[in-house]
Structure 1
Amino acid sequence: MTAAAGRDPFGQDPSDDGSARSSEVEFPSLLEDDLEDLYENAPCGNLSTLLDGTIAKINGTLLAWLGYTREELVGRRRFSDLLTGGGRIYHETHFAPVLALQGEIRGVALDLRAKDGARLPVLVTSVVKAGGDGRPPLIRTAIFDASERRSYERELLDARRAAEREDERLRRLVGKLQRSLLPATLQTPPGLESAAYYRMASTDEVGGDFYDLFPLDDGRWGFFLGDVSGKGVEAAAVTALARYTLRAATVYTPDPAAALQNLNTVLWQEYRADARYCTVVIGILTPTPTVGGFTAVIASGGHPEPLLLRADGSADYQCTKGRIVGAFPNSRYTNTTVAAGPGDTLLLYSDGLTEARTAGSETPDGRYGTAALARFAADLAPTSAGAAVSAVTELLGTFGAGLTDDTAVMAISAPPGQSTGTQR
């Protein structure tokens, strides 16, 4: 008889050294020992209880965490006895009812109370095991130490609170800086009315809009409203420079066009490398006491045209053209005279209003636009400065997230049928 290929004459595989057969004999007993050790010394706590919570079995890991002996717990204590006061309430009102209804509950955060009173944060998963062969059903529970996780969560919470405090501090600083760029109180020419409003698009960044209304020595009043490019501290620096340059220039030479040329020179020399510029409309207001109302000589540096809301119910833009200020070295500006009678209101605003996005907009890009603003103003006329600014404020509130830029609004009006009084 010929020996089978790959085997010796005795029928054995030459590569078989007997280790496989030996493993087949030893593996079941080793596995049994390993399973018992895995339960007893698992990296998590293992617990079996009766349906009423009485502890039937507990592993060494959980005993070591709690500091109890097996005899102190098995058959003598319930799982809920190992919980803190708040944990016991949660166990009775939520944990146990859900477990009874669904047969399992997973990943519940609780605190165990050790024998020495120490608290142990844990994550608990329990499942109900049906009984059989006369054995009662059991609740098997795995308990994981969550001390490091709880500590990590606490650190995250502390970091979040610190960040929120820092954000609040930043918002307060931004608010204070923004207010410092605006007049503390808006002065009003005798016999006239004035009102202003500033809407920040973001509480985290300083905007570049600014306005002012102030008396001059000869009974006239200077006013302006502008918008600096960009946001943040850099924009705030340009805003402060623009505001005080305009005010000083107007006091020295009450000529709006000359004041804009002065500001253009200053910004070009200071910020041309950084491309910092602004738009602004500036005017010199003269009350007309004999007929009521006022005249305003106005110059514009690339700013949206003011609106004049008249006592007869009409509203129209006042043509004021000019280059943006600070972008070119030799810009020239011209003056335009606006006559406002009793009941008329002059409304100035920044482009945050007309460029706000709004549903149902008639403009191709979805912006509110100048045409819509003109109709809005005509619906308001005749009105007063305070009423006009209040109406625009309410309008801004309707834009919601569509308002992406800061917006400044200022209005000056003459009461209907009243004289402005004699200027001294």
Structure 2
Amino acid sequence: MMCGGEQELEREHEAGVTDAAFTSLLEDSVEELYERAPCGYLSTLMDGTIAKINTTLLHWLGLPRDRVVCRMRFADLLTVDGRLCHSTQLVPRLQMRGEVSGIALDLKTGWRKRMPVLVSSKVKTSEDGEPLLIRTTLFDARDRRAYEQELLRGRQEAEVARRHAEEDRARLQEALAVLQQNLLPTALPEVPGLEAASYYHTASPDLLGGDFYDLFPLDADRWAFFLGDVCGKGPRAAALTSLTRSTLRAAALYDPDPVVVLSTLNTVLHERYTLGDTRYCTAIFGVLKPDGDRVSVHLASGGHPPALIQRANGTADYLPTPGGMLIGVLPHPHFAQARTELDRGDTLLLYTDGLTEARIGPQRELYGEEALRTFTAAHWPAGPQSLITALTGLLAGFGDGLDDDTALLALGAPSHPAPAQGDVDLM
């Protein structure tokens, strides 16, 4: 298939144009193509002296032909860094391979501007293999350079934005960590005749958790404790946590009966969140009364997982609180209560469901309350801090299976040192 120009030439030839005229026309077209090509052409001697150059390249340079041909070398057309690249990359490659392709250089134009080009050169040799001259093609790379610069600028802007985002996230995480600490006691108080230990695992540094706990005195002989979990995460959950903690403490000082305290909290939450955004929580509230070697415990639960007691004899069992309802949903819910006695070596463990709802194994099954009881029973009964330390290691072993905040509070008194060879902890 012939293009339009070829067809026209063919018609002219058929109309009577002589072969000589047709050949002449083609030769003129070849010369025109060389001079007006969309790229620059030049031929240089082996020392770089320019022997021939096309009109396109002269136009880019802004120079007349008589100032270039036989008067300048190719390197003279380049900027300082372009000449450096020419001498260190283009010339050595030509000497080794006889041709180079796609070398990026900058021309020095007559308007004192840089013009980026892509250079390809090839050495022409004689029949004996002797180098005669160098033929070079230059492609206008201004659009490409502008694109590369725009791409680089975009990458730089994206990198700056990424760094700013990381800095903003770090500041946010720091602020959230401070807020989270303010929702928990700085340190548990020292209780005569009792040891207390706690631990808080944050599932995500980007979100405020809703788990909470506390231990505080009621009078000279009694101490109140609570642990719970509010629904949701983030600022609203934090606001609910703050309200819950302050209400529990205030209610306990007025009437420390566990059921009364949870009922007071329920009234406050139900009135606050009845309309619009419904909010609720689960919690265990209790009162401790040390008496010699024993500690009496009276607690009540509102929809919270049961407390677990590790006995000094090496057993572990839950303290049942069946039927305790969520706090804040109904105007008059039922709260289950229970009583027990802690002897020397017994530990009362309270926890949030982040522990028992952790996922384990290849099937990502729930860890569950029975596994927690087995783990606790297998751990030597050496007191609250020892049990919290063991549970901290258990939580760390869950890895990404632990995807919820977890609060732990252990209360009791150690009496037996751990065996010298350590414990055998079971998951």
Shared fold per TM-score greater than 0.5: yes
Correspondence 1:3-152 to 2 at 5 A: 21=11, 33=32, 36-40=36-40, 74-75=74-75, 81-82=81-82, 134=129, 144-145=144-145, 146-152=148-154
In structure 1, what is the Cα distance between the partners aligned to 2:122 and 2:60? 20
Q: CA deviation at 1:360?
A: 4.9
After superposition, the Cα gap between the structure-2 partners of 1:75 and 1:105, relative to the gap in structure 1 and judged at 3 Å, is closer
Give the aligned partner of residue 234 of structure 1.
236
2:281 equivalent to 1:282 = no
What corresponds to 1:214 in structure 2?
A: 216
Deviation at 1:74, TM superposition (A): 1.5
Task: Report the counterpart of residue 409 of structure 1 in structure 2.
Answer: 408
In the other structure, the counterpart of 2:380 is 381
Report if aligned partners of 1:209, 1:228 keep a CA contact under 8 Å in 2. yes
C-alpha change, 1:358 and 1:31, in structure 2 (3 Å) is: farther
- What is the CA-CA distance between 1:278 and the residue it aligns to? 0.7
Could you say what secondary structure the match of 1:213 adopts?
strand
Q: Distance in 2 between matches of 1:121 and 1:384?
A: 79
SS in 2 for 1:282: strand
> 1:327 offset after TM fit, Å?
1.5
Instruction: Provide the residue aligned with 2:3 in structure 1.
Output: none
Measured at CA, do residues 18 and 131 of structure 1 come closer, stay the same or move farther in structure 2, by a change above 3 Å?
Answer: closer
State the SS of the aligned residue for 2:365.
coil
Q: Structure 2: how far apart are the matches of 1:59 and 1:386?
A: 84
Matches of residues 237-256 of structure 1 in structure 2 within 5 Å?
A: 237-256=239-258
Please tell me whether the aligned partners of residues 201 and 405 of structure 1 are also in contact (alpha carbons under 8 angstroms). Answer: yes
1:320 is aligned to 321
Residue in structure 2 matched with residue 372 of structure 1 by the alignment? 371
Aligned-pair distance for 1:37? Answer: 3.7
Give distance in 1, aligned partners of 2:189 and 2:165. Answer: 39
Number of residue-to-residue matches in the alignment: 373
Q: Tell whether 2:186 aligns with 1:184.
A: yes
**How far apart are the structure 1 equivalents of 2:273 and 2:210?**
15
Q: 8 Å contact 2:61–2:108 — kept in the other structure? A: no
Rounded Cα–Cα distance in structure 2 between residues aligned with 1:411 and 1:80: 76
> Can you list the C-alpha shifts for 1:373-397, whole angstroms capped at 9, x where unaligned?
1111111131321121121111111
Contact 1:105 1:126 in 2 (8 A): yes
Q: How far apart are the structure 1 equivalents of 2:343 and 2:114?
A: 79
Kindly provide the amino acid, as one letter, of the partner of residue 228 in structure 1.
V
Structure 1 unaligned blocks of 5 or more? 1-16, 41-45, 419-424
The percentage of aligned residue pairs carrying the same residue is: 39
Residue equivalent to 2:357: 355
Matched AA of 2:237? A
Per-residue CA deviation, residues 141-185 of structure 1 (Å, 9 max, x unaligned), is 865313222222222122111111111111112111111111111
* Bigger Cα displacement from structure 2, 202-211 vs 325-334: 325-334
Instruction: Judge conservation of contact 1:113–1:120 (CA < 8 Å) in 2.
Output: yes
Distance, in Å, in 2 between the alignment partners of 1:171 and 1:375 is 36
- In 2, the alpha carbon distance for the partners of 1:403 and 1:80 equals 62
Is 1:209–1:408's contact at 8 Å kept on the other side of the alignment? yes
Q: Is the CA contact (8 Å cut-off) linking 2:78 and 2:106 kept in structure 1?
A: no
The structure-2 alpha-carbon separation of the partners of 1:303 and 1:47, relative to structure 1 and needing over 3 Å to count, comes to farther
1:290-316 Cα shifts (integer Å, max 9, x gaps): xx1412111111111111111111111
Q: Which ranges in structure 2 are unaligned for 5 or more consecutive residues?
A: 1-6, 15-21, 418-427
AA partner of residue 38 (structure 1): P
Distance 1:408 1:219 in 2: 26
Q: 1:11 corresponds to which residue?
A: none
Query: Contact between 2:296 and 2:341, CA under 8 Å: does it hold in 1?
Result: yes
**Matches of 1:285 and 1:215, distance apart in 2:** 9
Residue in 2 aligned with 1:306? 307
Letter in 2 for 1:276: R
Normalising by structure 1, what TM-score? 0.73
Cα pair distance change 1:394/1:72, threshold 3 Å: farther
